[in-house]
Structure 1
Amino acid sequence: MLVAGVTGSVALLSRGLDALIGLVGRSSERLDAKLGDLARASDERRRREGRRPLNPITLD
């Protein structure tokens, strides 16, 4: 009885963690897509305004 209870609890916890990991993964993919859209919009705006890109090392 005790072993079955522990096994059930561990299985439930495992399913909960799997669901949480899936949720975080989907949220991360959505955030990546939004950041990509922002980067493309920024590049387009920079080209339209005739500005050159910043050097990420020197920020020149």
Structure 2
Amino acid sequence: MVAAGINYITYLAESEIVISMGIGAPEPIQTIKDAIDYAISKGVIVAAAAGNSGKPMGWPA
């Protein structure tokens, strides 16, 4: 669902778009990574939380 949402808003974007996500995982999730890459290729700014657990940053930060 996350990847579908990113792709949907990217596809419909007619002006500057910023996607801010509070998600994280220990390693990349390919469908979400592909959606983020697509959004960035269309000029969308994508921001994601870096985490606050004190451990090394997770993905997608």
TM-score (norm 2): 0.28
Greater helix fraction, Structure 1 or Structure 2: 1
| More relative contact order, 1 or 2 (CA 8 Å, 6+ apart) | 2
Greater strand fraction, Structure 1 or Structure 2: 2
TM-score (norm 1): 0.29
